[in-house]
Homo-oligomer: A and B are copies of this chain.
Amino acid sequence: MIKAALSVLLVLVAISSTFGKYIPKSGKRIPQTLSRGWGDQLIWAQTYEEALYWSRSRNKPLMVLFHLDDCPHSQALKKVFSEDNKLQKMLDEDFIVLNLVYETTDKHLSPDGQYVPRIIFVDPTMTVRADINGRYSNRMYAYEPSDVDLLKRNMEAAKKLLKSEL
């Protein structure tokens, strides 16, 4: 009898814990992550302001990655990028990371135009490293999946910080 009452109680608790939680009409959604698939184990900044603050306060270079979910070039790069263990480790340990699907108002982040995928490095002195670029002269900050080794060399270059004038 007590056992039956306990069972009923348990069922009621189970129902009430899901009851009342908002579910959209279109069905339950998987919560969006800040990584957007570019490295689930990295600690991503949410905004450029936040990323600049972290870069300055931790004295680490910032990588800003512009991409789009419906761009096949972005998706191809994402696969290589997220699966490269050495790249992910370097980013986690030595960089501040930010990925954006929407352009900022800061024109320094688009030295030769707005396109995706595009990777821009920023020094902790808040200087955009326009000198660190990929291999395409018409889209200097674009990288193809086959450019991942060049990207890692560019990360090494970004780790050599500019001297602050202060």
- Count of this chain's copies in the oligomeric assembly: 2
Stretch at the interface among A15-23, A123-131, A147-155: A15-23
CB distance from A131 to the nearest CB of B (A): 26
C-alpha spacing A83/B41, complex, angstroms: 28
Using a Cβ–Cβ cut-off of 8 Å, how many residues does chain A contribute to the interface with B? 34
CB distance from A13 to the nearest CB of B (A): 16
User: Could you tell me if B20 and A85 are in contact, using CB atoms closer than 8 angstroms?
Assistant: yes
User: Could you tell me if B85 and A22 are in contact, using CB atoms closer than 8 angstroms?
Assistant: yes
Which residues A87-131 have CB closer than 8 A to chain B? 88-89, 92, 100-105
| A contact residues vs B (CB 8 Å cutoff) | 20-24, 28-29, 31-35, 39-41, 43-44, 46-50, 53, 83, 85, 88-89, 92, 100-105
